Amino acid sequence: MAQFGAKRPRFAPTATTPDGALPTYNYEAVVTIGKLVAANLTVTNASGEIYGDDGLAEKVDMFASGSLELQTDDKTAEVHAALHGAALDDETDELADNAGNVAPRGGLTYYKTLMRNGTRVFQGVFLPLVNAVLGNDTATTKGSSITFNAATTTFNVFQANNGDWRITKEFTSEADAISWCDTKLGYTVSGGGTG
């Protein structure tokens, strides 16, 4: 299997977080974060081990937390406000980051394009519970050549109340992968288009 593409990172805030189940989401507030450049997931495991009779008797590694570094071509003021809880003034278009802002938790989806035995496969990725972390900002002056910088957003990845922290599914159709991702974030036929 070779992976050569990734697209359509979308975030929807949680509506409810029921016990023993996945969250539900407010699809009406879904945002497309930008055009996906890279998605790098880092997993932190909690481990424990016990030795007996001069050797390793048991060892356990379990998901503790995760971090997703998402690089996109852009992050608009509207997307920044939705991800970080910042205030966007509709009249002045000023975006205010405040020390008291709380980034909302929500679900995040994107999909990857894989090549398996000469056939394209589209893998939907669903992270049921994440929240964005406000990161650093850099700027560089124009020089003799142009270098584009991607907008980076880091997300904390949590396990949902049922223990799930990531769900994936493979499709032979790109449209089916998109539909699955939207459904995971709460899209229903009566809820509007898949945008």
What is the pLDDT averaged over residues 78-104?
94
pLDDT band at 134 (very low <50, low <70, confident <90, very high): confident
Assigned token pair, 133: 């972390």
What is the pLDDT averaged over residues 42-62?
89
pLDDT band at 149 (very low <50, low <70, confident <90, very high): confident
Which pLDDT score, from 0 to 100, does residue 188 have? 84
pLDDT band at 195 (very low <50, low <70, confident <90, very high): low
Query: How far, in Å, CA of 195 to CA of 58, rounded?
Result: 49
pLDDT at 144 over 80: no
The helix/strand/coil state of 178 is helix
β-bridge mates for residue 10, sequence order: 32, 109
Average pLDDT, the chain: 90
Q: Concatenated DSSP letters for 108-160? A: EEEEEEEEETTEEEEEEEEEEEEEEE----------SS-----EEEEEEE---
What is the pLDDT averaged over residues 136-161?
82
